[in-house]
Structure 1
Amino acid sequence: MTPKAGDILHVTRDASVQFATAIFFRVIRVHDWPTYDGWLWLDGYQLNAAGDAVERRSIFVQGNGLRQVRQNPAGTGAGLGAGHRGHTNLQDRTVAGAQVRPAVRHASAVATG
């Protein structure tokens, strides 16, 4: 897959071993830099489960390992509908027909004293 600006991707280990913990990523740009066959440099934002940008990143990935996150069309009241431009809830999005649920990290209690 060759993403384009605005696409939201689910980036997993299939795209690169650096993503043992999968992330959601909104593409800003796909660089045209020469690289290995099938690999891409992407600029964009890592997203949290609510669809908010939490970190700007450049990532080096295999295009065939990327999965585009489906978004509801504008005006449906969910996803990127009217009034929610650039904001989406990724908790229940589908990737290639399968439900995607981002990992929830829980802080562990540390005894002090």
Structure 2
Amino acid sequence: MPDKPKPTNPPHRGGAAMTGTMRAGDLVRLSRAASPQFVRPITVRVIRELTDRHTYHGWTWIEAYELGPDGSARAKRELFVLREGADLLASGPTSASSPTSQSGPTSQSGPTRPPTRRERARLGR
């Protein structure tokens, strides 16, 4: 009985591989497994997947913000990536997590920014 051929691709490391559609807010790590252009891996926050562009099977175009080490957006980019090679680090918000009641404004979670000069002037500070 002949031996099975060994896979030529290195094992997938990091987050979960992307198999479905990328959604707005998804945090994705792109390395050489996603495309040869990523000699140095980058982390992006997906704006949207460009599904109107026809590509090879398993490949997709995404519009995303490239993130710096501190998590802030550095550049808006359109990227051609192999879906299976993209590591999902964190999933974007789901519609089930959005508030459904109309009882009034809700507080936003997450980091807050300092007020701008205009806001400070309006508040009398």
TM-score of the aligned structures, taking structure 1 as reference length: 0.63
Q: How many residues align?
A: 77
In 1, Cα distance between equivalents of 2:60 and 2:74: 22
Equivalent positions of 1:75-94 (< 5 A) are 82-84=109-111
Name the TM-score, length of structure 2 as normaliser. 0.57
Determine which structure has greater relative contact order: mean sequence separation of CA pairs < 8 Å that are 6+ residues apart, divided by chain length: 2
- Residue 57 of structure 1 corresponds to 77
Contact kept, 8 Å, 2:50 with 2:60, in 1: the verdict is yes
1:3 matched to 2:22: yes
The equivalent residue for 2:90 is 70
Q: Deviations over 1:54-90 (max 9, x none)?
A: 000000000000001137xxxxxxxxx92328xxxxx
Q: Give structure 2 stretches of 5+ with no counterpart.
A: 1-17, 92-107, 113-125
User: How large is the RMSD of aligned CA atoms in angstroms?
Assistant: 2.1
Mapped to 2, the partners of 1:10 and 1:83 lie a distance apart of: 22
Measure, in 2, the Cα distance between the counterparts of 1:44 and 1:25.
Answer: 6
Unaligned runs of 5+ in 1: 72-80, 86-113
Q: Secondary structure at the match of 1:69?
A: strand
SS at match of 1:19: coil
Identical-pair percentage: 38
2:26–2:90 Cα contact (<8 Å) kept: no
Higher-strand-fraction structure = 1
* Structure with more of its chain in helix, by fraction: 2
Q: Aligned partners of 1:13 and 1:41: how far apart in 2?
A: 16
Amino acid of the residue matched to residue 45 of structure 2? R
- Report what 2:48 is aligned to: 29
Larger Rg: 2
